């Protein structure tokens, strides 16, 4: 057939076929656009969707993509060898190891640990004193996530702290940045006479699930999970992204009666929202699998363009709970059980003073002793002393609480007086005023660059001024937080103070101070506090809070009316009238 073509036609066809062949080879050898693979693929795909839709990733998302923090440990080691401070991208990355460079406030790192359910062994606790003395402050802080922090860690000691914790069977991995933070649970788990469920195995299982699943690092933003077993000490689970709350489901509602977890989602009180009940109940052993799926749906759909809108709450606000849960159910491959509110038996009440003092355990003849700390601060000799008491007279456990204090558990009746006296000999106490029992403060401007006031110091001044001037029979919680991040959860305090720069003249000069809020609550009385006073100078804060407390005492309906009950009976203008004028002077 080729004989039918002219020489020119033959040359054309030869060139045409050659071109087709070359094109085919080029297509075969060209690098194809490949799908991300590996444990980080879910994050890369989420970022790709954002960019494809015309969005712009925030710097933190770019840093995670350029180099995963867990792939850069050798550089952190080199920086420690040269006592070198990190640049911004590495400062973000090193938070995956639980260390935060806090300049310009302090030219050093802060280290936040992971202690599931807030419980550690006496020997671990004692050894933290050694780390603090050798490589940090030396002191430690108990945090509002029932955790420990070490501060003033020079860059050269960063590795000593990280690896020293691991030597103790503890770790700091994933305790900062865009990760699932320390897992909280009922601080009296397993020893509480009224608990419905021991939360320790569930907090521990979730803790290790996180540690061993790299895909659960690098979320759109930080993520909090709590397990509450209905003990006497509040866990504040409703302030978490996921709240598992032990409940007793009654007979007659289409499910087997018994103890379940009730699921609540979207808590972030710094953004004025509590976790909301979904109506979903689940067998406790299903909690870890459900939490995993919820986090993965968040990973795929959380905002990676705006750090202020990147928490789970905003996915829920955008989608609604029904859509979110339907996606979760699709991933699970089954429907979640739901019951109406009346299916849940009333839960045992919290005791707002159960984290301080001597309280009987469910184990006959044994007690937990709540130790009152000075706004969460502990010195090495106090740490060692408490650890020795736990070993000599307790069950060997140290139990941290979300109220910035700790418990020694398993103390026999015959040894209570000895332990209380020894606690006092350490400069601590097993008893305190109702005001100091609920006094909470973040690190403040002493150690945090975001804070506008020295919260811990000012909190102590407020308590010292008010506790003798305003006798209180009922607990009043006062929370001081230094900035909008609300680490001390000022919105849930009876009285909340948030740090502010207070103007003092028309030239723009400012001094440290606060805005004051009232009427916050938690648990069954969950409420977001309302702003009462603006621009109180820090030096005048004790007198301002004194007037608020005196207004409460003078105007409460009865001697046992709570501060929240009092505040909720008045609008803000009426409350301002009650406390009088001039408190901001």
Higher pLDDT, 5 or 188: 188
pLDDT band at 34 (very low <50, low <70, confident <90, very high): confident
pLDDT band at 27 (very low <50, low <70, confident <90, very high): very low
Higher pLDDT, 340 or 3: 340
Question: pLDDT exceeding 90 applies to what percent of the chain?
Answer: 91
| Whole-Å CA distances, 483 to 38, 152, 500 | 38, 21, 7
Q: Is the pLDDT of residue 541 over 70?
A: yes
Output the pLDDT for position 10.
Answer: 65
Output the pLDDT for position 127.
Answer: 98
Output the pLDDT for position 16.
Answer: 61
Output the pLDDT for position 12.
Answer: 65
What's the CA angle centered on 147, arms 396 and 407, to 5 degrees? 40
Output the pLDDT for position 404.
Answer: 97
Output the pLDDT for position 307.
Answer: 96
Q: Is 450 exposed, middle or buried (0-12, 13-18, 19+ CB in 10 A)?
A: middle
Q: For 388, what's the count of Cα atoms within 13 Å in the CB-facing half-sphere?
A: 11
| Whole-Å CA distances, 498 to 140, 458, 484, 502 | 23, 12, 7, 12
pLDDT band at 25 (very low <50, low <70, confident <90, very high): very low
d(CA 47, CA 178): 14
d(CA 546, CA 559): 18
Q: Is the pLDDT of residue 13 over 50?
A: yes
Whether 416 contacts 360, CB under 8 Å: no
Minimum mean pLDDT range among 364-368, 432-436, 504-508: 504-508
Q: Is the pLDDT of residue 106 over 80?
A: yes
Output the pLDDT for position 28.
Answer: 46
d(CA 488, CA 389): 29
pLDDT tens string 292-342:
999 999 999 999 999 999 999 999 999 999 999 999 999 999 999 999 999
Q: Is the pLDDT of residue 239 over 50?
A: yes
pLDDT tens string 54-105:
999 999 999 999 999 999 999 999 999 999 999 999 999 999 999 999 999 9
Integer-rounded Cα radius of gyration of the chain: 28
Output the pLDDT for position 4.
Answer: 66
pLDDT (mean) for 137-146: 96
Q: Is the pLDDT of residue 22 over 60?
A: no
d(CA 33, CA 31): 7
pLDDT tens string 339-380:
999 999 999 999 999 999 999 999 999 999 999 999 999 999
* DSSP-derived secondary structure letter, 361: -
Q: What is the mean pLDDT of the chain?
A: 94
- pTM here is 0.92
Q: Is the pLDDT of residue 583 over 80?
A: no
pLDDT (mean) for 117-142: 98
Q: Is the pLDDT of residue 582 over 90?
A: no
pLDDT band at 527 (very low <50, low <70, confident <90, very high): very high
Structural element, H or E, at residue 63: helix 59-66
Residue 179, φ and ψ in degrees, nearest 5 = -140, 170
Helix axes 41-52, 59-66, angle to 10 degrees: 130
| Cβ within 8 Å of residue 555, ≥6 positions away | 566, 578
Whether 523 contacts 264, CB under 8 Å: no
């Amino acid at each position: 057939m080729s004989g039918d073509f002219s020489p020119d036609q033959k040359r054309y066809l030869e060139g045409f076929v050659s071109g087709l062949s070359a094109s085919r080879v080029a297509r075969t050898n060209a690098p194809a656009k490949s799908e991300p693979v590996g444990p980080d693929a879910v994050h890369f795909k989420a970022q790709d969707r954002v960019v494809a839709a015309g969005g712009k990733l925030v710097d933190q998302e770019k840093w995670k993509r350029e180099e995963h923090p867990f792939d850069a440990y050798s550089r952190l080691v080199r920086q420690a060898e040269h006592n070198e401070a990190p640049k911004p991208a590495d400062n973000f990355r090193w938070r995956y190891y639980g260390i935060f460079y806090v300049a310009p406030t302090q030219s050093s790192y802060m280290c936040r640990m992971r202690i599931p359910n807030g419980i550690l062994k006496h020997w671990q606790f004692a050894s933290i004193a050694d780390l603090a003395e050798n490589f940090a402050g030396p002191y430690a802080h108990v945090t509002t996530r029932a955790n420990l922090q070490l501060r003033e860690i020079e860059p050269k000691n960063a590795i000593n702290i990280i690896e020293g914790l691991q030597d103790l069977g503890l770790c700091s991995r994933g305790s900062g940045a865009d990760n699932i933070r320390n897992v909280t649970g009922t601080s009296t788990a397993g020893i509480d006479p009224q608990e419905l469920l021991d939360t320790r195995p569930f907090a521990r299982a979730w803790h290790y699930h996180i540690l061993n699943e790299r895909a659960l690092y690098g979320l759109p933003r930080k993520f909090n999970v709590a397990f509450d077993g209905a003990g006497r000490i509040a866990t504040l689970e409703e302030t978490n992204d996921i709240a598992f709350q032990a409940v007793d489901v009654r007979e007659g509602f289409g499910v087997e009666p018994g103890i379940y977890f009730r699921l609540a989602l979207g808590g972030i009180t710094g953004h004025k929202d509590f976790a909301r009940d979904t109506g979903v109940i689940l067998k406790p052993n299903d909690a870890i699998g459900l939490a995993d799926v919820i986090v993965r749906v968040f990973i795929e759909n959380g905002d990676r363009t705006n750090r202020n809108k990147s928490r789970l709450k905003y996915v829920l606000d955008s989608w609604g709970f029904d859509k979110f849960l339907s996606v979760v159910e699709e991933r699970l491959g089954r429907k979640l059980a739901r019951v109406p509110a009346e299916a849940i038996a009333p839960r045992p009440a919290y005791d707002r003073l159960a984290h301080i003092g001597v309280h009987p355990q469910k184990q006959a003849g044994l007690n937990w002793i709540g130790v009152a700390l000075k706004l969460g601060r502990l010195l090495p000799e106090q740490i060692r002393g408490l650890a020795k008491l736990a070993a000599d007279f307790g069950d060997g456990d140290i139990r941290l609480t979300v109220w910035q204090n700790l418990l020694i558990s398993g103390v026999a009746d015959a040894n209570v007086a000895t332990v209380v006296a020894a606690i006092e000999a350490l400069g601590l106490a097993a008893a305190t005023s109702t005001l100091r029992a609920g006094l909470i403060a973040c690190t403040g401007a002493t150690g945090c660059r975001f804070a506008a006031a020295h919260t811990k110091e000012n909190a102590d001044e407020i308590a010292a001024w008010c506790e003798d001037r305003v006798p209180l029979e009922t607990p009043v919680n006062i929370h001081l937080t230094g900035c909008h991040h609300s680490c001390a959860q000022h919105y849930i305090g009876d009285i909340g103070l948030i740090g502010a720069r207070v103007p003092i003249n028309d030239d723009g000069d400012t001094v440290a101070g606060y805005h004051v809020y009232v009427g916050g609550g938690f648990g069954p009385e969950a409420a977001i506090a309302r702003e009462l006073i603006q621009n109180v100078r820090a030096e005048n804060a004790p007198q301002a809070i004194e007037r608020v407390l005196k207004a409460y005492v003078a105007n409460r309906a009865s001697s046992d009316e709570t501060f929240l009950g009092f505040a909720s009976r008045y609008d803000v203008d009426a409350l301002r009238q009650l406390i009088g004028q001039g408190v901001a002077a």
